[in-house]
Amino acid sequence: MGVSKEQRIKELKKKRIWPSVLGLFLIILIFSAIMIVAVTVSALDVVDRKLTDSSNMSVKIAKLFEAYGSENGKEIEKTVLSHINILDEIEAVSVIDEDENPVWSSNGEYPSLEDAAKVDYLPGITKNMEVIVAEDKAQVFIVDERGLNVDDSAVVNFKSLFNNESDDVTIALLKLWLVVPVNDMKVMVLNNTSIYVQDIQMALVCIIGCGLTIGVFVIYYLISIISMALSVRKTTKIIYTDMLTGGDNWLAFIKKGRKLLKKGIVQQKYAMLHLEMRKYRSFCTCFGVNRGQELIEAFYAVLKKEIKNKEVMAHQENSAFGLLLAYTDTAQLEARIHQIESALNTVLPAMKMYFGVGVYLVQPGERDIEQLYNNAMIACEMLGEESENKIAYFDVEMNNQKIWERKVEDDMERALVNKEFQVYLQPKISTSEEVLGGAEALVRWIHPTEGFIPPNRFIPIFEKNGFILKLDDYMLEEIAKVQAEWLAEGRKLVPISVNVSRAHFTREDLAEHICTIVDKYEVPHSVIELELTESAFFDDKKVLLNTVQKLRAAGFQVSMDDFGAGYSSLNSLKELQIDVLKIDADFFRGADVEERGLLIVSEVIDLAKKLDMKIVAEGIESKEQVEFLTEQECDLIQGYFYSKPMPVAEFAQKYNT
């Protein structure tokens, strides 16, 4: 898999949930801080108001002692006691003189002034008042010029006292002595300041509001996080799902295959398979694309059942599947493959289907699934479309062949422009006079780094990738140019045959196209012979017959090359009117050449004479073959017995001076 593609897939699969989690944390933190601040401010405000009320009440109690004396002392004490009984805020009152000697106390207690805090200002109290700590010293209040402030310890050390006898729930109780100087005495008032639920209603509302707000945001973010997680899961499933079969796609195959090889290659041997149905496109042409897709789905279902634990399989493309199978030895592996093919053939019992299988035996340490599958696919390609052998194992030579094909395809366009393809001519000798009767144009590639490249190393590649069309046009134009030069030099012209690939016969204007190339050089059409192979007869027959008729009408000679190599030779002779018949060289090779081959050649020559055709025997290498063909009145002989192919200049010097 390409690096950029793999990176894009990782980006799609990446779980980007952490921003939402961070957002949720920040929301909780911010609202919690707001809630704490709001509650604190509200609580401090309640405490401040309660203390202010307490101080004001203490002053009023203290003023009762302004006229305290022997005459009215009992009356004032009685009044103070009645206030204490009525007022919940006042718990006790004690009076001392200037020397801190007890004067009177409502409960008999006199607090010490040693720990009293001096104050400059207390709301509702004169500036020379004092605040002293309660008996347990749990509360300390400090007053400055800005008003009453509560020390941190006062906030955290509230005493929670719940009064079950009251309808109001007391949530905090503040006890402190306030000292009010009156005349020569100090009136000490023990304040019992209670804080009830209704006193902090705003704080409670704030707490509830913030809690609800936090809850809403928490729920929202939780829903967002869950939704994102489900979305990531759905995206991942889509990424790894094949749209045709609904099962694992190729990305899933690569992922699972790597994981499998990483874990099990030490204990288990694996084989990578490329399995494809032969002529799948023909099936789709006959039965429709939808039926073809249904067939692939059925194949997938069958293969899924055949796959065992610790094996993987996926649809690759078209009718191809990739399989990573465990095996013990090649015999067991081939038996397994035949079993799989038999299972696939049960999908359409009435139709015999053929499969090609390329196999690569995975070596220890190899984990590049795509490279392994590519090797298996190369092996399958080497089988050929019509091969009877349905299982091919990858070897190094196959890989070298693919590398060579890649190099040929990389260099072919440049080679055509630079005229690296050179024309060689092989003479055709007349049997009657042993003089030049014609020639065949053959291409040779003189590569700048590879040197001389024989045709069998590049022509099959060109036929497969379609470049043969350009090469044929190039060769035709080069021969027309040579014939034009010889004509201008006054040399004797003989027909030179040029190959026309079967791929050309897909175009209906082929005859006009050939005429345009030749006529550019003003060469007589009679000196150009166009060779077509018998295999062209199996393509579009109507186009072939029409094109041949046009070419012959234009004055070109048409020959059939490799006659006898196919299976419908006589049938093609019946329908196709040609001028020259070239007998395949295989008739003159083999152990039975004397008994059967020469007999067939004799009958073919006799048949061609009756059909008014010239006969050319190619691949002739011995004197005995020449004598036999001369006796049979074969018109022309082509082969190494007379001459191998040679460059145009050498041919002109030897045969066309």
The identity of residue 360, as a single letter, is Y
Percentage of the chain beyond pLDDT 90 is 27
Calculate the CA 90 to chain-centre distance: 81
CA distance 513 to 196: 108
pLDDT in tens, 482-512: 999 999 988 889 999 999 988 888 788 899 9
Question: Across-strand partners of 583?
Answer: 563, 617
- Give yes or no for a contact between 326 and 311, defined as CB atoms under 8 angstroms apart: yes
pLDDT in tens, 554-565: 999 999 887 766
State the pLDDT confidence band at 395, using cuts at 50, 70 and 90.
Answer: confident
**pLDDT of 458:** 93
Give the residue with greater pLDDT, 524 vs 98: 524
Q: Is 582 helix (H, G, I), strand (E, B) or coil?
A: strand
H-state helical runs in 64-135 = 73-86
What is the chain's length? 657
- pLDDT exceeds 90 at position 444: yes
Residue 593 tokens, joined:
């050449």
CA distance 268 to 549: 64
Give the residue with greater pLDDT, 371 vs 574: 371
Mean pLDDT, residues 581-610 = 77
pLDDT in tens, 608-620: 888 889 999 988 8
Mean pLDDT, residues 622-632 = 88
CA distance between the termini of the chain: 62
State the pLDDT confidence band at 644, using cuts at 50, 70 and 90.
Answer: very high
User: Angle CA(650)–CA(656)–CA(657) in degrees, nearest 5?
Assistant: 90
Give the residue with greater pLDDT, 137 vs 302: 302
Q: Is 137 helix (H, G, I), strand (E, B) or coil?
A: coil
Least confident of 130-134, 229-233, 407-411, 511-515: 130-134
Least confident of 41-50, 101-110, 473-482: 41-50
- Give yes or no for a contact between 494 and 525, defined as CB atoms under 8 angstroms apart: no
pLDDT in tens, 512-553: 999 999 999 999 999 999 998 766 665 667 888 888 899 999
pLDDT in tens, 184-232: 888 888 877 776 666 666 666 767 776 777 777 777 767 776 776 777 6
**pLDDT of 143:** 32
Give the helix/strand (H/E) hosting 141.
strand 141-144
**pLDDT of 164:** 37
Name the residue among 195, 53, 46 with its Cα closest to residue 124.
53
- Give yes or no for a contact between 130 and 113, defined as CB atoms under 8 angstroms apart: yes
Residue 353 tokens, joined:
């289907």
Mean pLDDT, residues 274-300 = 88
Give the residue with greater pLDDT, 214 vs 583: 583
- pLDDT exceeds 80 at position 32: no
Domains parsed from the chain with CATH numbers: 20-207 (no CATH), 250-394 (3.30.70.270), 410-655 (3.20.20.450)
pLDDT in tens, 334-378: 999 999 999 998 998 888 888 989 999 988 888 889 989 998 988
- Give yes or no for a contact between 647 and 446, defined as CB atoms under 8 angstroms apart: no
CA distance 339 to 355: 12
- pLDDT exceeds 60 at position 438: yes
Average pLDDT, the chain: 79
CA distances from residue 532 to 480, 560, 581, 595 in whole angstroms, order as listed: 18, 5, 10, 29
State the pLDDT confidence band at 441, using cuts at 50, 70 and 90.
Answer: very high
Name the residue among 12, 24, 23 with its Cα closest to residue 233.
12
**pLDDT of 142:** 33
CA distance 232 to 225: 10
Least confident of 26-30, 248-252, 466-470, 579-583: 26-30
**pLDDT of 16:** 57
